[in-house]
Amino acid sequence: MAKTSTEQYRTNAKSRAKHVRDNSPGGKYAHSKQYKREHAAARDSLKIKSPGVDASKQPDGSYKAESRKTNRGRGGRLRR
């Protein structure tokens, strides 16, 4: 039988440490005020109003309007 998340965090120190980091104030997606200003300006310039669309930063430093799902999903498997 699989462990519950509570049992997993209790018995696995590495997993517990990541869980604590992600759930502490600031959380997994804590960003500086400068980062938030830059992204807000990019959203304004791209005329993004929908919550499902994200200002995705490109490798050349520019921004493009992209699905939030696509942008966040790229952070895992494809960046290893």
Q: What is the pLDDT along the chain (80 residues), one digit of tens a residue?
A: 788 888 989 999 999 998 898 888 877 777 889 988 999 999 999 999 988 898 988 889 899 999 988 877 776 555 54
**H helices within 1-80, ranges in order?**
5-11, 13-23, 33-45, 68-73
- DSSP type of residue 12: -
Model pTM above 0.75? no
| Residues in the chain, overall count | 80
Q: What is the reported pLDDT for 27?
A: 74
According to the model, what pLDDT value does residue 79 have? Answer: 56
